[in-house]
Copies of this chain bind each other. A is one copy, B any other.
Amino acid sequence: MAMNALNGEGQQGQVVVGVDVGGTTITAMVVDTSLQVCGQATQTTDKSTPQGTFKSIVATILQALEIGQTPLSQVKAAGIGIPGKVDPTTGTVHLAVNLNWNHIPAAEWFQQALGVPCYIENDLHLAALGYYHFFTDSSIQNMAYVSIGTGLAAGLILDGRLYRGAHGMAGEFGHIVMDPHGPTCNCGNRGCLEMYTAGPAYSRAGQEAVAQGKLLLPPEQANVTAVDVFNAAQSGNLAAQEIIHTAGAFLGRGLQILIMAYDVDKIILGGGVTRAGDLFRHAILDEWQRQASLSPLAAEMLKPEKLECAPLEHNAGAWGGVALAHNAFPHAVSPQRIANQRR
């Protein structure tokens, strides 16, 4: 493990652990006070029982520590991102559908299992926090981390602080109603933004293109996935490219609303749909350009440099866990310094 270069007193060998829990995999990262990664591990999420899920998270943390050759006694704190509705002050997970967790006193469980202070937070909030502290220029104090996968939502840093809203629901942009006569969303409402721009929108449109003979699937495959559409588009299929362009343009409209709401300097796009690649980014920017050509206000607000796709190798969620646990090193480095070190 790297020694702490910043402050020698009483800190030798101290680390924090950042954890990103997903419905499919768990990633744990062990980071020292000079922000070097000492160990990292990824395991499949055990979803057999709530207790099983808990155990697989603990096992991933212990594996990362073992890889980093760091005993638990050197861990100052852990920050853990959970995909669901979380109360960070009590450490309770109210509801995490993907983990089948319901009113779980998670922070307490982790603390008992590991014997170190553990903090939990919603995974998207942590991704925003992680991106803000470790991958964003220190001049940026207002940003949104927009995750687009099965659904769509934004984690928000406003005036340099994580903004959760009155009930932890701020940034639920996937369910803003774009068209009250639009298709019915999983939430029950009609015309929600995510119906046009999240993963399932790509597979639905891909399925239609297959039915119309505009897109071919391997004969053994029954359903079109979003990834099939991305691959077909990259191979030059026009129907697939059109699907990405339509969904991207719609997202451009949604992000205009987001920018008018929060006046952020950066929008970071993360999640599986960003794998649609350049075509996707261009579709968003084309829609911004269309609006900017009509309106000086839109031109001022919708500057292309505000849009950034999160590199796939960044695990913003686990870094957010590090930031959350970082209060264990209050004397170490300021957020600005952290950001500069990581760039």
Contacts and interface: CB of A to CB of B under 8 A. Distances in A.
A294 interface: yes
A294 B263 contact: no
Contacts of A257: 176-177, 257, 261
A183 interface: no
Given A165-B142, A189-B291, A297 B175 contact: yes
Nearest to A173: B260
9 contacts: A159-B161, A169-B263, A173-B260, A175-B295, A177-B256, A180-B291, A188-B297, A189-B298, A258-B261
A190 B261 contact: no
A142 B142 CA distance: 17
Given A161-B159, A165-B142, A173-B261, A180 B253 contact: yes
Contacts of A262: 165, 170, 261
Interface residues of A, number: 43
A188 to B, nearest CB: 4
A222 interface: no
Contacts of A294: 188-190
Contacts of A175: 260, 295, 297-298
Nearest to A184: B294
A340 to B, nearest CB: 20
Contacts of A256: 176-177
A14 B261 CA distance: 39
Interface string A224-265: 000000000000000000000000000001001110111111
Interface in A135-166: 141-142, 158-159, 161, 163-166
A277 interface: no
A270 interface: no
A188 B163 CA distance: 32
Contacts of A343: none
Given A176-B257, A176-B261, A188-B296, 13 more contacts: A142-B166, A159-B161, A165-B263, A165-B264, A171-B263, A173-B261, A177-B256, A177-B257, A180-B291, A187-B295, A188-B295, A188-B297, A189-B295
